[in-house]
Amino acid sequence: MLDITVQVFAGGYKSAPADFGRVREKLEDVLNRIPATRVIMGWTPAPELYGRVRDFLRQRGVEFFLWLPVFSETGRMKPCVPVTDWAGGTAAGNADGAEEDFAFLCPNEPQNVRAALSVFNENFANIGFDGVFLDRIRYPSFAAGADAGFGCFCPRCREAYTRAGADTTALMRGQGRIFDDPAWRDFLKIKAQSVTESVGALCGELRNRGFKIGLDVFAPFLSRFVGQDIPALSRLADFVKPMMYRKTFAPAGIPFEWDALKLRTGISPPFAPDLDFCAGDLAELVKSADCPVYAGVEWNRVPGIARPTPGYIHESLGAYAAAGARGFVLSWNALDAPLENTAAAAQWLNHRAGR
* Residues lying near Zn ion in the complex (CB under 5 A): 106, 108, 152, 154, 157
Q: To 10 degrees, the CA torsion angle through 166, 115, 127, 133?
A: -20
- Return phi, psi of residue 354, to 5°: 75, 25
Largest CA distance in the chain: 61
C-alpha radius of gyration, the chain, whole number: 19
Q: Which of 29, 30, 20 is nearest to 52 (CA)?
A: 20
3-class DSSP state for residue 184? Answer: helix
DSSP state, residue 74 = G
Q: How far is CA 49 from CA 17, 100, 126, in A?
A: 8, 19, 13
* Cα–Cα distance measured from residue 80 to residue 11, given in angstroms and rounded to the nearest whole number: 21
> Cβ 109 to Zn ion, closest distance in Å?
6
Give strand ranges (E) for 70-207: 93-94, 102-103, 131-135
* Cα–Cα distance measured from residue 35 to residue 33, given in angstroms and rounded to the nearest whole number: 7
Alpha helices in 248-309 (DSSP H): 254-265, 275-288
User: Peptide bond before 152: cis, by omega within 30 degrees of 0?
Assistant: yes
**Backbone region of residue 64 per phi and psi (left: phi > 0; alpha: psi in -120 to 50; beta: other values):** beta
* Cα–Cα distance measured from residue 12 to residue 175, given in angstroms and rounded to the nearest whole number: 34
Nearer to Zn ion, 31 or 157 (CB): 157
* Cα–Cα distance measured from residue 326 to residue 239, given in angstroms and rounded to the nearest whole number: 9
Neighbour tally for 137: CB within 10 Å = 26
> Cβ 92 to Zn ion, closest distance in Å?
14
* Cα–Cα distance measured from residue 200 to residue 113, given in angstroms and rounded to the nearest whole number: 10
> Cβ 191 to Zn ion, closest distance in Å?
9
Q: How far is CA 262 from CA 24, 144, 247, 347, 354, in A?
A: 42, 13, 18, 37, 43
